Structure 1
Amino acid sequence: MIQKLFIANRGEIACRIMRTCERMGIGVVTCHSDADATALHVNASPQSVRIGPAPSVKSYLDGAAIIRAALETGCDALHPGYGFLSESADFAAAVEAAGLIFVGPAPETIESMGDKARAKTIMIEAGVATVPGGSHASDDPAQVAEWLETFEFPALLKPVAGGGGKGMVVLDAPPKGDEITAAIRTAKASFGDGRLLVEQMISAPRHIEVQIFGDGCGNVVHLYDRECSLQRRHQKVIEEAPATNLPETLRQNMIAAAVRGARALNYRNAGTFEFIVDAQGYYFLEVNTRLQVEHPVTEEVTGLDLVEWQLRIASGEKLPLTQDEISYQGHAFESRIYAEDPGAGFQPSSGRITGLAWPMDARVEAGIEDGGYVSPFYDPMIAKIITTGADRPTALAQMTEALTNTRILGVATNLGFLRQLCAATKVAEALANTGFIDANTDSLITPPPLVLLIAAAAAAEIMAQKPKVQGQTSPWSSDAWAGLCDRHQLDPRAPFGRLALAHGDQHAIACVQLIRDSTLWLNIALDGQSHSITATANCCDGMIQGHCGPHDWVAIPDILGVDLIFEGTRHRLSATNTAAQDELDPAARSPLPGVVSALPLRVGDIVAKGDTVAVVEAMKMENALLAPMSGTIDEVNCEMGQQVTAGQILVVITPQTSEA
């Protein structure tokens, strides 16, 4: 068995591998760049080695420095994780040449599957169905153009190197310009290899994959399938196991094809056969010669530890179980949490995590911790949330709840986008294909009304200032709300505080009219209109959380404003100058539900600012509505004894003109 493992990766996968090593009694050494010196995987590791500056090409992609660090720390094996050097045949060969165990497939397997033309040829010979099109590749524009002459469009130009859809070009008609030359140039610049495959374009298929393991001695097993159709620009977002709405015959044929292909490769360690599926059947896409990001959903339904299997096979052991001993039950989902802003075109977000809370009833694989820093140098995926249920609807409902109960403040994330995605009808019915997200992005990113953001931010700001006095809710109490509310100089329109907040170039005034327990009644002036909003707010784990109607939010105020997560989406609201932004509302509104107990004035009467225009009795108290400005009573919209609601307009005043 491996004695000491060097983990040549970072973030959540480094933490994930460490957890299994600790359980198995295997020593661990991690590595880090300068940007990751205080990262979670470094803090959690018993030993960590600096391998270079922040840019990955000078650290996590520096194979020589990684191998040197592994040898110098006395490790006998190296796990590449995923990404970075995990699918570099040259790196795997160098690791083994240095006398270390490489936890992964043989270098020749990685090399053959890294070339899509060669991989396709091997699979065809193994009797695995492939995408219609040739298995030869070329970087000669004339040759590629000749191949296209035999195709029905749309056609796909696919680089033989790379992955994740990068460099692929869809042609809806025969090329008339330099599309082929440009595709070759892009492939060469991106991957160092300009050769292209020409294939039939399969429009909006499903993406299904099969997890396999081999011991390099001819023994191969599968750990069933996963659905990975929820993708954005060819990047997976939510995965699940097993795939649903899949004909059982097709499923079994696809699994058998994956096992057949793995045996043809004499596969060793973990691998994933990826297929695309349409109404005509399934087609081989590629083999990922490493552990997948989405491996936890397979672990959840099979009850197996895939990292343990990797380590045992790398140590020379046979497969831990036979195919007959492997089964699955239930259903699992995984959501990838990215530090990115969906509302800004999914632009990556970096910065300090100022507030963090994970859901209690879900598996969380995280690469960050509270107070940690999300670096701009690496992939923006910072965590994964996994839920498991007896069936698919249960697991999906648990995922929605887990996403709702996840709080990440300080950077933008895709939490709100994921919540919208889980709620989509086609996702709930397992009818989404790989084009679903890109075709429905606008409907999956629906910004809330600005007035609700203002209300939530104001409630958070006020509650952050609230004195810790039990049972005191009156602004007239000498010991309650000290410093926030001066009983000798009360603002008649905002006795519990007045805040000016800005969201981008939009400004608003929030007047807090009443607070009872955790409920706040606010009047918000925005874009020349007045809005009455009720919000709840409570302090919890250093954050303030609450609701505006059915909408949940969590926030942390600071001296410059409020960092707000509204239904999973981050918004930054800035504090502004109240006096400069104040706009008086000509309407006198009921601060809370109650009964009109006095109406001293009529339409046409002259009032001065601060005069009582109505009295509402509620909560065993009389609440006077004061004129917000001097002027003339223009409307009286209530009568004595009438039941009114919070925010209801009772009296409207025409402001006094400057001539008067």
Structure 2
Amino acid sequence: MHRLLIANRGEVASRVARAARSRGIGTVGLYSDPDFALPYLDDVDEAVALPGISATDTYLNVSAVLAAAQRTGCDAVHPGYGFLAESAQFAEQVAAAGLVFVGPPAECIAAMGSKVRAKELARKASVPVLPDAVVDDTATDLGELGGRVGYPLLVKASAGGGGRGIRLVESADDLPAAVAAAQREAQAYFGDDTVFLERFLAGPRHIEIQVFGDTHGNVVHLGDRECSVQRRHQKLLEECPAVSVDAALRSAMAAAAVRLAEDIGYVGAGTCEFLVQGDEFFFLEMNTRLQVEHTVTEQVTSIDIVGLQLDVARGAQLPFTQTEITFTGHAIQARVCAENPYTGWLPSTGAIQRYWHPDDDGVRYEDGIASGVTISPFYDSMITKVIAPGETRDHAITTLDGALARLVLHGPDTNVAVLRRILSDADYRHGDVTVNWLEQRADLLAAEPLSAHAAAAVVACALSTDTPLLPLPAAWSNTPRPAVQWTLLDDHGTEHQLDYQPPRNGEAFRLFRVDGTEFAVRCLAHGDDRWRVEVDGISRVLRVSAEGLLGHDPGVRVWVNDIHGQVGFTVMPRFVERNIDSIVGGPTSPMPGTVQSVHVETGQRVSAGDRLVVVEAMKMEHVIRASSDAVVSRVLVHVGESVPAGTVLVELDDQE
């Protein structure tokens, strides 16, 4: 192996490139039109353009990917994770082109790619599975199948993943509609409408086992990981080892995972995922690829999993036996995603004004972004991974929380504040979480009071006499006049009233109020993006960025960082000149994205709650519904169209 094509993007492309470089292997990357400026392209020797925007036209375009490999003289392909990583067809085509596929054999990918087939193989390997039943052409009596599995149950897509094609069914009356909906979604996303029924566990934990095999018949496990903190079936925090797992359960799960991998002749890195309830565990699926959370296993085992992938793909034997693998300490990974937790975890896009983290704090950062780049709506919302090691779990939690507090990420909305609230929560610290725990903890998304230091930083920016980030209000002067009033809108949608009178001759503000509470405020010093602000005799160093124009819609977006973390809010305009487009009546897209489907046509009558348009962004589907009975006067978008946030999708006339 001399030259490796990395068939992926973002932080995983950088991760694979580092491992290849350490083994003297040259690297070639790929980039779509929106990705041309992303930092992973600095980590490869050269990169090939894939003209286009959508994943289908670029990173999922097998012929274009293979052509890039041939054009640049590559002799191997690493798929990373996502995109083509679990495509048996792609693995076959890589081999047919005379290239080494850094992953398991195509037959292993195919076997585990079907959840129905995977469960059959798990049963054969004596791995516990939940009761299930396949819905096929002969299964005319859904009621009988549902009764056999037992309620509540899940309808699941056999070829699914990432939460796609899953429906929870509480009773037999709801089963036919749920099956039909899951089949439609499965066909649309995976090209396979096969679904099955599976017993639903009310409060399980999600624990997985990392396995590794070589071409000489050796298979080992590299321990377990806890992945129970999830939203929308997507993981947010992962840690190694798993929490509150006794030795017997840990040993049984590891043995089951190794047994299954041995039975199917597995090669390379793979992960067996289990649902755990009490002292029982049940096979969920096997991911036949590198996992996003492989990092925490690397921290605890000191094994370079990606490097080992490359070695095994070149025919090497595993360099250790099971008894030689050791586990030291604890590690936790946080997935930093461009999304707004306070609006249903809607994806967020736009330019990164500033991105910074320490390079010497003992924390591992795997970045997919940099200052000045733009986050597009076309791919995954994860933009950075932060991995904290610790001698103990408590130590790792504290280290991770401190790293997230120092992280400067000014631009689109992120989940950082919620990640920190989870880390500080008593349930999480005690390991008392399940896969649906976060859905039940709305309090973790509650609004917090606006910091007076943050509000003071906004004023400091406005009063800077050299390069103000915020222009001063019209007719400002330093002569006595009524207090300046601004309205600040935080990320929770809460308005805060800020009142102040500008200081003179370096004095403190004669009046400074936030929501009616008065503070003694002085701006002591500033330089570049750093400000030193004193509030009631306590000064802090703050990092501040701003974007937008004061007095113009939608206002100025401001980000402030201090020792307690980052806060973002908007300085609202006093008077807004409404754009004529806002007069058009009809539902709008809540996020930038791609129109996945249109369900109405001109002249059609719709009722409140009817589905109108489905918009997809960052692997998330958002259904736009009618808010009242109406008639469709115009459909303004078509399937496949990219739409900015706020785009009117359908014009509706009220029914009389």
Same structural fold, with TM-score higher than 0.5 when normalized by the shorter chain: yes
Q: CA deviation at 1:543?
A: 4.8
Residue number in structure 1 paired with 2:519: 532
Paired position in structure 2 for 1:40:
39
Partner residue, 1:555:
544
CA distance in 2, matches of 1:547, 1:348: 36
Deviation at 1:37, TM superposition (A): 1.2
CA distance in 2, matches of 1:172, 1:551: 53
The alpha-carbon deviation at position 517 of structure 1 amounts to: 9.4
Match of 2:559 in 1: 564
Question: How far is 1:562 from its partner?
Answer: 4.3
Residue in 2 that maps onto 1:477 = none
Superimposed CA distance per residue, residues 73-105 of structure 1 (whole angstroms, 9 cap, x where no aligned partner):
001000000000100000110011000100000
AA paired with 1:317? Answer: A
Equivalent in the alignment of 2:207: 208
> Cα 1:525–1:336, aligned 2, differ >3 Å: closer, same or farther?
closer
Q: Structure 2 CA distance, aligned partners of 1:518 and 1:160? A: 69
Larger Rg: 1
Choose the corresponding residue for 2:147, options 143, 149, 154: 149
Measured in 2, the distance between the counterparts of 1:407 and 1:215 equals: 41
The residue that corresponds to 2:443 in the other structure is: 443
> Hey, what's the Cα distance between the residues in 1 that align with 2:367 and 2:501?
39
Residue type of the partner of 1:563?
Answer: V
Q: 1:229: Cα distance to partner?
A: 0.5
Match of 2:512 among 523, 527, 538: 523
Post-superposition shift, 1:557? 3.0
Contact 1:241 1:333 in 2 (8 A): yes
Alignment-derived partner of residue 198 in structure 1:
197
TM-aligned CA deviation for residue 463 of structure 1: 6.7
Distance 1:545 1:345 in 2: 35
Question: Quick one: distance in 1 between partners of 2:453 and 2:54?
Answer: 37
Structure 1: distance between partners of 2:488 and 2:377: 27
Identify if the C-alpha distance between structure 1 residues 506 and 112 changes in structure 2 by more than 3 Å, giving closer, same or farther. Answer: same
By how many angstroms is 1:140 displaced? 5.7
Distance 1:554 1:488, change over 3 A: closer
Query: Percentage identity across aligned positions?
Result: 37
1:497-546 CA distances to partner (integer Å, 9 max, x unpaired)?
x56344279574431566999997851365xx464365878657735577
- Cα separation, 2, equivalents of 1:295 and 1:20: 13
Question: What is the SS of the residue equivalent to 1:422?
Answer: helix
Q: 1:420 to 1:466 in 2, by over 3 A?
A: farther
Residue 460 of structure 2 contacts residue 523 of structure 2 at CA under 8 Å; is this kept in 1?
no
Structure 1 residues 140 and 543: alpha-carbon distance in aligned structure 2, compared to 1, 3 A threshold: farther
State the secondary structure of the residue aligned to 2:84.
coil
Number of the residue aligned with 1:500 = 486
Amino acid across the alignment from 2:544: A
In the alignment, the residues of structure 1 paired with residue 274 and residue 511 of structure 2 have an alpha-carbon distance, to the nearest angstrom, of 54
User: How far apart in 2 are the matches of 1:540 and 1:210?
Assistant: 50
Unmatched segments (≥5 aa) in structure 2: 550-555, 576-656
Rounded to whole Å, the distance in 2 between the matches of 1:537 and 1:435 is 47
TM-fit CA distance, 1:454:
6.8
Quote how far apart the aligned CAs of 1:341 are. 1.1
Query: Secondary structure of the equivalent of 2:18?
Result: helix
Q: Distance in 1 between matches of 2:7 and 2:27?
A: 11
Give, in angstroms, the shift of residue 274 of structure 1: 0.4
- Separation (CA, whole Å) in 2 of partners of 1:224 and 1:544: 46
**Runs (5+) with no aligned partner, structure 1:** 469-482, 579-660
Instruction: Return the letter of the residue paired with 1:255.
Output: A
- With over 3 angstroms needed to count, the CA separation of the structure-2 counterparts of 1:260 and 1:455, relative to structure 1, is same
Q: Deviations over 1:276-310 (max 9, x none)?
A: 10014001111000000000000000111111000
Per-residue CA deviations over 1:248-274 (Å, capped at 9, x if unaligned) read: 101100001001111001110000000
Aligned pair count reads: 558
Matches within 5 A, 1:230-379: 230-360=229-359, 361=361, 362-379=363-380
SS in 2 for 1:365: strand
Q: Aligned partners of 1:511 and 1:189: how far apart in 2?
A: 56
Q: Following TM superposition, where does structure 1 have runs of at least 4 consecutive aligned residues deviating by more than 6 angstroms?
A: 515-521, 535-538, 545-553
Output the CA distance in 1 between the equivalents of 2:478 and 2:460: 23
Alignment RMSD: 3.2
Residues 1:530 and 1:49: Cα distance change in structure 2 (over 3 Å): same
Q: What secondary structure sits across from 2:148 in the alignment? A: coil
Match of 1:426 in 2: 427
User: Who is 2:24 aligned against?
Assistant: 25
One-letter amino acid of the counterpart of residue 486, structure 2? A
Q: SS state of the match for residue 321, structure 1? A: coil
2:72 is aligned to 73
Provide Cα deviations, 1:546-570, integer angstroms capped at 9, x if missing partner: 7978999742135623422476565
Paired letter, 1:448: E
Paired residue type of 1:542: D
Deviation readout 1:24-50 (Å, 9 max, x if unpaired): 211000000011111111233220100
Which 10-residue stretch deviates more, 167-176 or 221-230? Answer: 167-176
Give secondary structure in 1 for the equivalent of 2:140.
helix
CA offset digits 1:407-443 (Å, max 9, x no partner): 1001111111111111111111111111111111x21
SS in 1 for 2:189: helix
Q: Is the 8 A contact 1:458 1:499 kept in 2?
A: no
2: CA distance, partners of 1:258 / 1:292: 15
Q: Secondary structure at the match of 1:70?
A: helix
Q: Aligned runs of 1:112-191 on 2, under 5 Å?
A: 112-134=111-133, 136-138=134-136, 142-176=140-174, 178-191=177-190
The 5 Å alignment of 1:49-88 reads 49-88=48-87
Residue type of the alignment partner of 1:169: R
For 2:412 and 2:93, the matched residues in 1 are separated by 38
Change (3 A) 1:451 1:303: closer
Structure 1 residues 37 and 211: CA distance shift in structure 2, 3 A: same
Distance in 1 between residues matched to 2:190 and 2:376, nearest whole Å: 24
Structure 2 residue matching 1:57: 3-state secondary structure: coil
Q: 1:491 to 1:22 in 2, by over 3 A?
A: farther
Change (3 A) 1:234 1:461: same
Q: Which amino acid aligns with 1:381?
A: M
* Secondary structure at the counterpart of residue 172 of structure 2: coil
Quote the offset at 1:180 in angstroms: 2.5
In structure 2, what residue type is equivalent to 1:372?
V
